[in-house]
Amino acid sequence: MSETTEAAPDRNILIVDDSAMMRAMIRRVAALADVPIGRVFEAANGAEALAILEREPIAALFTDINMPVMTGTELLRVIEERGAWPDLIRVIVSTDGSQARREEVDHLHVRCYVEKPFRPEVMRDVLCELSADADPR
């Protein structure tokens, strides 16, 4: 769907949400987080996200669950089934924090489950943690 600048392909992130405003908010938090990131890609649903994953190196995926066309859960299942992105860090950002939903994605190698609403510093902390893992020196 879209992307922005800076070359550090091992730190590229992909934001998947059907709300353009939520994508913009996460992008802004990422930009202000004082964490080294590469290009920021955006997708409005799981199908768009898959298309980006197939053509771009992505280090971390931030996905909503409830989206048209292909949900976040469906996206994570496809990623799991294909096995093509074993190092991809997967973060869910969703209003649905129910235990039932968490259990549904439990086996899909989700690293963090961030419930909306979240304070910007929560997302910053997630980015910092991911960055520390990517560069453990």
Partner 1 sequence: MTSSVNCRQTPTPAEHYGPLMAALADVAEQSFFACVDPCDAASFEERAAGVDNWLRVSVGFQGAFAGLFSCTLPEPLAAELFDSFLGQADESARNETLVFDLVGEFGNMICGTWLTRTAERRRFALHRPEVRRVPPPVVTTGAEGGQELLCLNDRPLAVGLVFVPWQG
17 vs 62: CA distance, rounded Å: 8
> Given the rule CB under 8 A, which residues bind partner 1?
18-22, 24-25, 28, 66, 68, 94-101, 104, 115-120
What's the closest the beta carbon of residue 92 comes to partner 1, in angstroms?
A: 13
Q: Which is nearer to partner 1, 85 or 113 (CB)?
A: 113
Min dist CB 128 to partner 1, Å, is 18
Nearer to partner 1, 45 or 53 (CB): 45
The identity of residue 70, as a single letter, is M
Cα 127 → chain centroid: 10
Q: Could you tell me the smallest distance in angstroms from the CB atom of residue 24 to partner 1?
A: 6
Q: Hey, is 36 helix, strand or coil?
A: coil
Comparing CB distances to partner 1, the nearer of 114 and 128 is 114
Q: How far apart (Å, rounded) are the C-alpha atoms in residues 26 and 42?
A: 10
Name the DSSP letter for residue 47: H
